[in-house]
Structure 1
Amino acid sequence: MTSTLDACFKTAESAAEQNIAARTKEVAEEESDLSDQRVRLDAERHVEFYQELSTDKFATTAPSIMQAFLSHGEACTVLESESLQLATIQRVPAEDDYSPMRPYNAILDRLGESFRQNAQLHASIVALTQEDGSVDSMEEDIEQPSARSQMIHVFSACLPILQGRATNLQMAHELLEGAKENLAMTLHLESLEFSESEDDS
């Protein structure tokens, strides 16, 4: 009786082990299939991403806009530094003695041009990010972002930066205008003193 039970237990145990081994193999195969599917899906998404970038009509203008955005940022940094430096000097350089307002006017002109470029960039990016924007396409992008929607997010992030640049340019303009007015007042007072000294002589 005992030997019969032992035999039954061993048979059941062996069958269970075989079932576990078979199931383990099936799970491993399923996981391998899932892994392969993920790899294929990722590869397909990458291919779709680059294909969309190459065929999307806004892709022809996006690079030039981004390049202009980066160049404008560098120019603004230099211009703001020059404005601050000129606004804080006591007197204009010796070579500008005969035209002391020239350095101020030159930088003010550049500030105005940079401000116009900033406005143009802002308008271009707004137009780019709103182009062909429909509710249906936005809902699709939420479920599975397209290459275009991903690029739009990048460009949308540039808009607050442009607003900050506009504020800095305006402040630099006001600072330089104030320095120019102070210089004009100083020159006027100096001319009055010179006239008085000539009259006394």
Structure 2
Amino acid sequence: MDDGVDGANASVTEVLRKDPTMAALIDRHGPLDVAPADDEFGRLCTSIVNQQLSTASAAAIRERFVDVLGGDPTPDRVLDADESALREAGLSGTKVEYLRNVAAAFRDDERDFTREGLADRSDEAVVDALTEIHGVGAWTARMYLIFALGREDVLPLGDLAVRKGIEQTYNDGEELSRAEMREIGEAWRPYRSYGTRYIWAEYES
């Protein structure tokens, strides 16, 4: 077993292993990383496509979405894409609207949603900024924190798989309150995003 979580220093593993349950997940699933995306806009589009879909369905629709665009998502490609073709790719009219709202926001010279542009803003300030875009809710914004910006200490309890995964892993599948889940996550600070990745891995295995 690697002493460190891939791409992070050994302190991540050291902190997470203080929780015996999390230590077992690290042994079972191996190194998992939390790193910034190469393309923040593309990652946000993926989160919007994924809203309320299974992993398999979302992957298939995203592939067709990229085909319609003629390449990886860019604000211009999304805004220029034919709406009927996007609908035929499996996107609802609502999601097409959301994707176009995001594209317009990213093309706005007054706002910078890149990692560099948001570097000095707290996680909650980033969530507040993103949720000003119609179609970006708290769940999508927290996915952006983890998967686009590589923020290391996010616990997205708005995600059903995270909640179910914590209940499955820590309470034999029995219901837990969000307060109880937050208390469990306290043991993972300041690396709750890594803990979340292990919960997802276990839940999906």
TM-score (norm 2): 0.21
Higher relative contact order (CA 8 A, sep 6+): 1
Larger Rg: 1
**Which structure is higher in helix share?**
1
